[in-house]
Structure 1
Amino acid sequence: MQAEALHYWIMVLDVESFSPRKNPVQRAVRRAMYEVVEESLSRAGIAGQDVVMEDRGDGILILVPSTIPPVLLAGDFIRELHDNLRERAVLTSTAAAMRFRVALHQGLASRDEHGWSGDAINTTFRLVDAKPLRDVLTAAHHAHLVFSVSSDVYRDVVQHGYRPLDPAAYLPVRFEAKHGQPIEAWVTVPGYSAPPGLPPLEVAARPVPTGTSSPAAQASTAQAPATGTISITGNTVQGDVVAGDKTVYVDGAYPGLR
């Protein structure tokens, strides 16, 4: 058993509204959850690289060695996960449909005979359980998942705009976890220009890391008509310089977004 703590990229995935389902449906959802996650890890080129998955009932704790590029997690894996969920939604009954909350953090973790522990793991669970993240997924009616990264991951990875990451699609949130611990995170919803369901005053008040535009500027940009080489046909944005063509859904999170 590993005694010393090592650095990992720490991801937690949780299924929305798992507990109210009947036992047979829960079993079907859990089976589908693992199929989706394992297939998405494989498609993103992450599977088989000493990735650890620990079962959490209605979710999974995923520990990825620090040697794996984080862009594969925040970019490729999330995209594959979203596409996989979207494909399955067409074929799945309403009772067994899945939507995910996903959070990504980094830090030290250690293993004993019973499993994994560490403050960074605790923080990642607080991110995925945060009320703002739940509210965003509730408001994003067309979404298949909502994705949150810690301020550390946003500052060190997302804000630099590595392909296929799109920093402009993230907005900051701040909340209190257990014992009044303040936590800052950044939230995005694949397919949405900005995550819906965030309190406007909270969004406007959040500090922004150096080198990024303010949330207000991001919202303003999202409301502006497409210009330059970007064109919109129906619900498809064509010519996105960050991630190529994408389908965009808007649920009226900000005035003017219809």
Structure 2
Amino acid sequence: MNEPVNSTILLLDIERFSDRDDVEQGYLRRMLYDLTDRALLAAGIDETRRRRADRGDSVMELIDANASVTALLRALLTELPAQLRGMNRQASRSAQMRLRGVVAAGYVAVDQHQGWVGSDLNHACRLLDADLLKEALRERPDDFALCVSDAVYQGIVRHSHVGVPSEEFHSVTMDSKNGPLAAWLHGPVPSSDSLMKTSSAEGGQSPVEAVPSLPPGADRTPIIGGVFGGTNHGIAGGTFSGDFHFGGGTDRGDRR
């Protein structure tokens, strides 16, 4: 396995992907790839500065740490929503796409099977799957909900660079199967009542209420890994198939 390398992590996930038929899923995957490429190019990040993994209903990007995170966030807050609205206006209702997104940063290693390994990556994936982010998207009239890790907020967002207004991000604690995770949600925070209803409908445990995140340096619950399967394509070429592991846990459920 290669040594861990510091990277910016971008995750984008299609809402209710498994509810669609095969034709619709194929269309949505093409649109997701196209949308991701456009957003990254708008941020000045071409294919030579990123590596991609395919998760079926979502996409993972490891981005060169020297690429501008500010430009990436600006593109995710402006270019991506605009492109998504345009795509959805031209699509039938069953083929419209709504997305959850996460931007994080940390050290990720690539093993001999082209699998990605790292607790920072595990953390980002847990944020993407958190009930609070899912409910934030459900409550919004627009088609995109974004959260960032505490490290990205502290390093970039809180300084209110042009196009990245810090006042639009809210400190939250995301519930996950590995415990509470600190993050910053762009836009309104879902109410506790709506989160409780979502958890009951899905047969899960009661989620943690949206509260201020832990202060810098505070102890945080360790995050274990997961697995996903299918055929995965590297951005620089090559294909790898089968279960794809990052860390020590296992997660074979559908992603929503």
Query: What is the TM-score of this pair, normalised by structure 2?
Result: 0.73
Q: Post-superposition shift, 1:77?
A: 3.7
Equivalent residue for 1:228?
Answer: none
The separation in 2 between residues aligned to 1:134 and 1:176, in whole angstroms, is 11
Give the root-mean-square deviation of aligned CA atoms: 2.0
Distance (Å, rounded) in 1 between the aligned partners of 2:24 and 2:162: 37
Query: Does residue 43 of the first structure (1) align with residue 42 of the second (2)?
Result: yes
Q: After TM superposition, list the pairs within 5 Å mapping 1:205-216 onto structure 2.
A: 205-206=211-212
In the TM superposition, what is the alpha-carbon distance from 1:48 to its structure 2 partner? 3.1
Alignment of 1:189-200 (within 5 A): 194-199=187-192
User: Do 1:53 and 1:60's aligned partners in 2 also have CA atoms closer than 8 Å?
Assistant: yes
- The amino acid of 2:99's aligned partner reads F
Which residue number corresponds to residue 169 of structure 1? 168
Indicate the residue corresponding to 1:116 in structure 2.
116
Question: C-alpha distance in 1, partners of 2:165/2:192?
Answer: 22
Q: For residue 183 of structure 1, what is the aligned residue in structure 2?
A: 181
Name the CA distance, whole Å, in 2 between partners of 1:103 and 1:20.
22
How far does residue 42 in structure 1 lie from its aligned partner after superposition? Answer: 1.5
Contact 1:132 1:198 in 2 (8 A): no
The gaps in structure 2 that reach 5 residues or longer are 194-207, 217-256
- Residue 182 of structure 2 contacts residue 213 of structure 2 at CA under 8 Å; is this kept in 1? no
The answer to whether the Cα contact below 8 Å between 2:132 and 2:175 also exists between their aligned partners in 1 is: no
* Higher relative contact order (CA closer than 8 Å, sequence separation 6+): 2
Q: Which residue of 1 aligns with 2:129?
A: 129
Aligned to 2:70: 71
Structure 2 Cα separation of the partners of residues 150 and 40 of structure 1: 19
Contact preservation (8 Å) 1:100, 1:146: yes
1:30 — aligned with what? 29
Which deviates more, 91-100 or 67-76? 67-76
Q: 1:46-67 CA deviation, whole Å, 9 max, x = no partner?
A: 1234211110100001111110
Percent identity reads 28
Q: Show CA shifts across 1:81-139 (max 9, x none).
A: 11100111111111110111000111000112232121111111111110000011000
Answer whether contact 1:44 1:80 (CA < 8 A) is retained. no
Is the 2:173–2:213 Cα contact (8 Å) retained in structure 1? no
Instruction: Give a deviation string over 1:127-186, Cα, whole Å, max 9, x none.
Output: 11100000110000x21100000111111110110111011111121133233x321111
Amino acid at match of 1:103: V
Amino acid in structure 1 at the alignment position of 2:133: L
The alpha-carbon deviation at position 209 of structure 1 amounts to 6.7
Paired positions, count: 201
Q: Which amino acid aligns with 2:164?
A: L
3-state SS of 2:124 partner:
helix
Q: Hey, what does 1:81 align to over in structure 2? A: 80
Is 1:145 the equivalent of 2:147? no
Residues 10-64 of structure 1: CA distance to partner in whole angstroms, max 9, x if unpaired? 1111000101111111011101111111122122211234211110100001111
Q: Give the aligned partner of residue 157 of structure 1.
A: 156
Larger Rg: 1
How many Å apart are 1:202 and its aligned residue? 4.6
Equivalent residue number for residue 221 of structure 1: none
Does the alignment pair 1:100 with 2:99?
yes
Question: Structure 1 regions of 5+ residues with no counterpart?
Answer: 189-193, 211-258
Q: TM-score normalised to the size of structure 1?
A: 0.73
- 1:149 match: secondary structure: strand
User: Where do 4+ consecutive residues of structure 1 move more than 4 Å?
Assistant: 200-203, 207-210
1:75 Cα deviation after fit: 1.5
Deviates more, 1:170-179 or 1:149-158: 170-179
Q: Compute the displacement of 1:207 (Å).
A: 5.2
